[in-house]
C-alpha cells in the first residue's frame, strides 16, 4: 500500500462543485485583484474567528511581519520566539528588522515554554511570537500574563492551528493579532500561497491593509508599502473551504486518536501530547523516537514500505548552516528541548481524507519497524 503525505486532490474532488462555482464566480466577475471575493472572504474569516477584522495577504510569513511593522516594531527591538518551528517564524521577525530572541520549548507540547520567557526580556523586548506548533495552541494565558506585566505585544503564529483553541481561551482573544497561512498544505489551504492577519485592533487592520497594497488605501495615493495581496481566485477557494474546516478538524482528530490507540504499546517512540481542555487540530501528527539514532532508520523504513512520512522540522533554526546570516539574534538559556524535538521527530501522514486502511497500514508499518529492533543482534563470529 502507498500512503501519501497530502490529500489535496482528494479534498478538491470531495467539494469540487463548491470550489468550481466560486472560481467561476471570480472568473466571470473580471475582478481578480482586490476584488469582491477577497472582501467577502475577509468578512467570512473575521466572523469565523469571532473577531472584527481579517486582512487577506499573500502568505502566512507576511501575516507575521506586517502586524509587527504595523505595531512599529523594527530595528533595535526584540521579539521572543522558539527555534523548533518552520523557518518563517524567525524570518518574519528579521524581515521586520527586529532581533529574534530564542527560548526553549516545553518538552511535552513543543510550544514556547512560558517559564523561559521572562529571563529573555530586556528593555528592547517589544513582542512575543508564540507558535501554535503542529496544531496545538501555546499556553496563551501564561504568555498574556507575562506580556501584560512587561507591556509586550503578542502576534500568534497560527499557520498550523486554525480551528484550534486552548483551555479557557480562543485564538486572538489574548493577543494583538493572529497570523495564519493558507499555503496548500495547511488545514485551510488554497491552491497556492496565501495568508491573513486577524485582529480586533483597528490600527493593525488599517496599517496592514495599506502596507499590503503599496502603501495605498486610495487610488494613486501612496506611502511606503509592499505588494502582499491575497488574490481573488485564492479567496474564492478559501471561501468554499472555510465552512468545512470544523468537520475536517474533527476528521484529523479522529485519525490522530486512531494512530494513538494503534501505537499505544510502541516501545521506541513517544506519541503526541494533547493538553487537557485544548482542541489540538493535528496539522501534523508527530511521533518522536526515544533514541535520536532511531529517527532516520524509522523514517527510511516507513518510506521504503510506502508510507510517505516526513520530518517537521529536522534542523532547528539556530542549527541551520550559517545561522544567523548577519541578522540580529540572541539565544537565552539551553535549547535542549527544541534540539531533541528536531533530532527525533517523524510526521506521519495526516489529512482529513485519509482512510482507516491507510491509518492502520501506517500504524502496522511503525510497529513492524519496532519488531526489527526487537530482533537480537547477530553475535559477531568468535565473540
Ligand atoms: C509555523 C509556521 N509559521 C509560518 C509559516 C509561513 O507561512 P507561509 O508559507 O504561508 O508563508 C508556516 C508555513 O508555511 C508555518 O508552518
Q: Span 80-98, mean pLDDT?
A: 98
Is 112 in contact with 138 (CB distance < 8 Å)? Answer: yes
Read off the pLDDT of residues 254-270 as tens digits, 9 standing for 90 and up: 999 999 999 999 999 99
pLDDT tier for residue 383 given thresholds of 50, 70 and 90: very low
Give the C-alpha separation, 122 to 107, whole Å: 25
157 lines ligand 1 (CB under 6 A): yes
pTM above 0.95, yes or no: yes
59 lines ligand 1 (CB under 6 A): yes
Is the N-terminal amide bond of 324 cis, ω within 30° of 0?
yes
Nearest atom (ligand 1) to Cα of 283: 16
Q: Which atom of ligand 1 lies nearest, measured to the CA of 92?
A: 4
pLDDT tens track for 142-189: 999 999 999 999 999 999 999 999 999 999 999 999 999 999 999 999
Establish whether residue 85 lines the binding site of ligand 1, counting it when its CB lies within 6 angstroms of any ligand atom. yes
Kindly report, residue by residue over 278-332, the tens digit of the pLDDT: 999 999 999 999 999 999 999 999 999 999 999 999 999 999 999 999 999 999 9
Q: Which three cell numbers stand for residue 238?
A: 478559501
pLDDT of residue 374: 77
Please provide residue 241's backbone torsions phi and psi, each rounded to the nearest 5 degrees: -85, -30
Q: Which residues contact 254 (CB under 8 A, 6 or more apart)?
A: none
What gap in Å lies between CA 120 and CA 225, rounded to an integer?
31
114 lines ligand 1 (CB under 6 A): no
The ligand 1 atom at the shortest distance from the C-alpha of residue 195 is 10
Amino acid at each position: 500500500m502507498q500512503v501519501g503525505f497530502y490529500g489535496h486532490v482528494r479534498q478538491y474532488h470531495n467539494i469540487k462543485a463548491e470550489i468550481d462555482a466560486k472560481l467561476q464566480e471570480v472568473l466571470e466577475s473580471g475582478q481578480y485583484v482586490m476584488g469582491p471575493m477577497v472582501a467577502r472572504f475577509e468578512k467570512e474569516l473575521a466572523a469565523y474567528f469571532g473577531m472584527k477584522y481579517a486582512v487577506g495577504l499573500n502568505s502566512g510569513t507576511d501575516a507575521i511581519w506586517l502586524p509587527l511593522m504595523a505595531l512599529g516594531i523594527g530595528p533595535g527591538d526584540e521579539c521572543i520566539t522558539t527555534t523548533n518551528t518552520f523557518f518563517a517564524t524567525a524570518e518574519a521577525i528579521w524581515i521586520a528588522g527586529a532581533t529574534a530572541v530564542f527560548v526553549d520549548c516545553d518538552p511535552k507540547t513543543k510550544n514556547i515554554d512560558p517559564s523561559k520567557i521572562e529571563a529573555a526580556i530586556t528593555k528592547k523586548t517589544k513582542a512575543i511570537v508564540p507558535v501554535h506548533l503542529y496544531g496545538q495552541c501555546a499556553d496563551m494565558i501564561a504568555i498574556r500574563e507575562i506580556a501584560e506585566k512587561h507591556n509586550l505585544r503578542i502576534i500568534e503564529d497560527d499557520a498550523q492551528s486554525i480551528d484550534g483553541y486552548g483551555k479557557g481561551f480562543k485564538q486572538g482573544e489574548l493577543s494583538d493579532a493572529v497570523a495564519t497561512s493558507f499555503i496548500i498544505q495547511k488545514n485551510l489551504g488554497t491552491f497556492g500561497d496565501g495568508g491573513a492577519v486577524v485582529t480586533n485592533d483597528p490600527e493593525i487592520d488599517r496599517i496592514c491593509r495599506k502596507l499590503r497594497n503599496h502603501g495605498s488605501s486610495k487610488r494613486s495615493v501612496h506611502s511606503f508599502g509592499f505588494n502582499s495581496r491575497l488574490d481573488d481566485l485564492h479567496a474564492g477557494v478559501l471561501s468554499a473551504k472555510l465552512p468545512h474546516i470544523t468537520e475536517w478538524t474533527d476528521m484529523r482528530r479522529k485519525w490522530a486518536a486512531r494512530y494513538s490507540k494503534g501505537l499505544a504499546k510502541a516501545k521506541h517512540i513517544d506519541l503526541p501530547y494533547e493538553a487537557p481542555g485544548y482542541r489540538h487540530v493535528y496539522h501534523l501528527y508527530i511521533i518522536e523516537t526515544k533514541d535520536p539514532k532511531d529517527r532516520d532508520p524509522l523514517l527510511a523504513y516507513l518510506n521504503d514500505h510506502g508510507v510517505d512520512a516526513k520530518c517537521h522540522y529536522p534542523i532547528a533554526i539556530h542549527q541551520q548552516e550559517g545561522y544567523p546570516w548577519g541578522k540580529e539574534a540572541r539565544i537565552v538559556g539551553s535549547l535542549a528541548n527544541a534540539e531533541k524535538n528536531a533530532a527525533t521527530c517523524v510526521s506521519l501522514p495526516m489529512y482529513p481524507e485519509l482512510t482507516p486502511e491507510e491509518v492502520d497500514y501506517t500504524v502496522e508499518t511503525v510497529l513492524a519497524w519496532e519488531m526489527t529492533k526487537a530482533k537480537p543482534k547477530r553475535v559477531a563470529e568468535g565473540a
